[in-house]
Amino acid sequence: MPARFDNGITGTILLADDSALDRHLFTQLLQRYGHTVHAVADGAQALAALDGLQPDLVLLDIRMPDMSGLELCAKLKADPATRDIPVIFISAASAVEDRIQAFSCGGVDYIGKPIKSEEVQARVTTHLTLRALRRTLELRVQERTAELEVANRHLSAEITERRRMAQELLESRQQLRDLAAHGEAAMEQERKRIAREIHDEQGSLLTALKMDLTLLRRELGDAPPAIGQRLDTMQHLVEEAVRVMRQVASQLRPAVLNLGILPALEWLTEEFRQRTGIACHLLAGDDIPLDDSRATTLFRIVQESLTNVTRHAEASQVDIGLSLEAEHIRLEIADNGKGFDPSQVGGNSFGLLGMGERLEALGGKLRIDSAPGRGTRLHITIPLAEELP
């Protein structure tokens, strides 16, 4: 029996390889570890199989007739129904260019031939584990979001009823702001809790796995170089899992936000530059001491604005200005992208809608200055102290 380097996770795997022998070897190996394998001989058969199959992982041979594994991977990543399925390439070629192309088109890993059973299982298990973690996180966020949406609908109905009474208008508006602030605070608190759970629970599991690998290396002693290389590969995969875990936790609630709004925005703009290649400049004076709700609101608005720039603006530069004016905080976000007509933006623009809701909860205001062909500038003001209407 081969050694098992897994945590019990199994999944459904789609395998595409034009070599009948390799298909047989991969299928026997993966089934031995409890995985369900659907093996096909080329890219066209793989696409046909996906009509009735939603695999947890795809293994693709790079070189296949008619449609290469690289072309098939590009098709999978272009389809919303399959773009989140991790793809591992397999190939007898060892050229660096092949590996670069594999990762560039969306692959998450690479297995060389002739295959080694422990390496295949380690890589497959790692990516199935990461996919399971992402699904768990998405389900948790969806559940919490649904609960908040139900609460918000209930509160909106209550506020609508109160607005029918003219003498209670001011009280109703204030209540709406308080409830929205409470809902936003609850959502941020939940993000912090989920991020902490990921860091603590999954971090502990991965740390234990790293310790097991270290102990195994010591127990093996003067093992053959091949075993040492496999242990090195497993160590690299665990470290990559730790990196992904930290990235997910950071996206939920960046720890740098606890240091103040200016360090948080500096981190956000630097991360945006590195991820997108778009020039992003932050202009601000001394850090502005803010309560958590205002700091979080500013951070999320900038985060959502940068997301919109990436998705829609086609910009090459973004400028962010943060300043303190009298009793207000002023934030301006400008890009040199293609712009849009603000009057044509409806209720389906959830990014702008979310910004407005966050600002309304704090008595803030949003003004959009944009037109097709001349970029977009957002003008945001938030009172340092709460202002009554």
At 343, the pLDDT band (50, 70, 90 cuts) reads: confident
Residue 239 has pLDDT above 80, yes or no: no
Question: What pLDDT is stored for residue 96 in this prediction?
Answer: 81
Chain centroid to Cα 339, Å, comes to: 26
- How far are the Cα atoms of 40, 73, 76, 135, 304 from residue 48, in angstroms, in the given order? 10, 14, 12, 25, 38
Q: Is 231 helix (H, G, I), strand (E, B) or coil?
A: helix
Does 174 score more than 60 pLDDT? no
Going by pLDDT thresholds of 50, 70 and 90, the confidence category of residue 218 is: confident
β-sheet bridge partners, residue 284? 322
Q: What's the mean pLDDT in 342-370?
A: 77
Tell me what pLDDT residue 346 has.
Answer: 59
Is 80 exceeded by the pLDDT of residue 193?
no
Mean pLDDT of 207-223: 76
Whether residue 246 has pLDDT greater than 80: no
- Distance in angstroms (rounded) separating the CA atoms of residues 69 and 58: 10
Average pLDDT over residues 1-25: 76
pLDDT at 149: 87
Higher pLDDT, 310 or 389: 310
Q: Where are the alpha helices (DSSP H) in 203-323?
A: 203-220, 225-252, 261-276, 292-308
- Mean of the pLDDT values across residues 334-362? 77
Looking at residue 226, its pLDDT comes to 79
How many other CB atoms sit within 10 Å of the CB of residue 357? Answer: 13
pLDDT average, residue stretch 147-166: 78
Higher pLDDT pick, 298 / 206: 298
In the block, tokens 């003219």 appear at 166
Nearest to 8 by CA among 38, 35, 39: 35
